[in-house]
Amino acid sequence: MDTTQASSATSLDQAHHFQMYNRFPVTFTHGKGCVLYDTEGKAYLDGLAGIAVNTLGHAHPALVGAIQEQAGKLMHVSNLFLTEPQAQLAEKLTQVSGMDRVFFCNSGAEANEGAIKLARKIAKERGRGGEIISLQNAFHGRTIGTIALGQEKYAKDFLPMPGALRQVPFNDIEAVRAMVSDQTAAIIVEPVQGEGGIYPATQAFLQTLRVLCDEHQLTLIFDEVQSGVGRTGHWYAWQYYGVQPDLLTSAKALGGGFPIGAVLAREEIASHLKPGDHGTTYGGNPLACAAALAVLNTVEQEGLLKATKANGAYLRERLEALKAQFPEDILEIRGVGLMQGVQMAYPTRPLVTILLHQGVIASATAGSVVRFVPPLIVTQEELDQMVDGLKTALELYQAEK
């Protein structure tokens, strides 16, 4: 595709698509590994991975091959029937996640909705109310139910919100404790807040949440839509912290770019759902499951968990060194593994735009944070390019001020 075709794509988008995305002025045509190419043939190093989605980068032969093979055999039959890819993925995902059972859906928001629904059923059976406690600056999806659990800026134009939802400050266990009552059904938390600015929970906070939920018979839900499938150097962040939830939600990286979501549960929790309580038309279709199974197998076969621990430490080291060079611009580096946030002293959208012009893709989140969540196949040389690109962008930003 040349520039004329790119202009045509932009015109078509503006004429026919909902104008709800604040898109960057780039149209991509293809990718390979950690590199994307636009309509003019310019290469960009991908430090965003489609917002923590493209686990294996772009056009990984194992993932492409699995999708092509399955598409040629069977794509969808509904959950009135069983397919082999779904059963195989269920076995693999429960093994690596340390959970007992799984329900497949299509997205992270769906997974969180399913988890909340199950938590409320359990609470009713235990004689409790249906209130859900979430944490400030959380992000759990874009449905009415999930935006009600998150940040006000996503909910304010869509009032009224569903009721029986409460929110307290992140990492403040006393605020959580004060909110718990006999009306509380569950607590939902991101072990590492993503859209909120890459804020990891403290070990003590998660450990005490576990104790609190056990004491009051509450369901503890970990939203690992962004932190899951190797992003922290562990299959799931709960394994990094050593605090197991009752329910765990997963999506994004699970399909490596193909849409799939999952609700994972301990056996005792899963047993509360009976036939007819919940369901999905597309969820767990054989094509999505074949893709996700290829992702999990490849992460395992290529040793990407170990690599992510090493590369995450390396990226953190490079970013801390950059912070020392720009102490008035960079206030803090936060994150775990290959989920790192650079807290700036000012809004980051202009900085990320300059970085894009340098051929490096990152995102501006929480207003003043530069987020790096590259594919797990990233090399240290590519991480060097990302950090060097950010340094150049900072120099150019300062020169323009």
Please say whether the beta carbons of 227 and 27 come within 8 A: no
Of the listed 139, 170, 222, 258, which one is catalytic? 139
How many beta carbons lie within 10 A of that of residue 157, not counting itself?
Answer: 7
- Among residues 192, 277, 176, 182, which one has the least CA distance to residue 228? 192
Cα distances from 290 to residues 73, 218, 261, 307, 346, in angstroms, run 11, 34, 13, 24, 43
How many beta carbons lie within 10 A of that of residue 324, not counting itself?
Answer: 9
Tokens of 356: 């894009």
Mapped onto helix, strand or coil, the DSSP state of residue 356 is helix
Indicate the pairing of strand 131-135 with strand 369-372.
unpaired
Task: Work out the end-to-end distance of the chain between its first and last CA atoms, rounded to an integer number of angstroms.
Answer: 36
Eight-state DSSP code of residue 33 = B
- Among residues 258, 13, 304, 249, which one has the least CA distance to residue 117? 249
Half-sphere exposure of residue 255: CA atoms within 13 angstroms, side-chain side: 26
Query: Would residue 46 show up in a list of annotated catalytic residues for this protein?
Result: no
Of the listed 223, 246, 258, 372, which one is catalytic? 223
Give the list of residues 6+ apart from residue 322 with CB closer than 8 angstroms, or none.
330, 342, 387, 390, 391, 394
On the question of a cis peptide bond just before residue 245, with omega within 30 degrees of 0, the verdict is no
Half-sphere exposure of residue 96: CA atoms within 13 angstroms, side-chain side: 24
Strand partners, 344: 330
Mapped onto helix, strand or coil, the DSSP state of residue 116 is helix
Please say whether the beta carbons of 231 and 200 come within 8 A: no
Of the listed 222, 252, 309, 326, which one is catalytic? 252
Query: Would residue 24 show up in a list of annotated catalytic residues for this protein?
Result: no
Q: Which amino acid is at 281?
A: T
How many beta carbons lie within 10 A of that of residue 353, not counting itself?
Answer: 14
- Among residues 148, 369, 374, 98, which one has the least CA distance to residue 248? 98
Query: Would residue 158 show up in a list of annotated catalytic residues for this protein?
Result: no
Mapped onto helix, strand or coil, the DSSP state of residue 142 is coil
- Among residues 376, 386, 394, 371, which one has the least CA distance to residue 196? 371
Task: Point out the residues that are catalytic.
Answer: 139, 223, 252
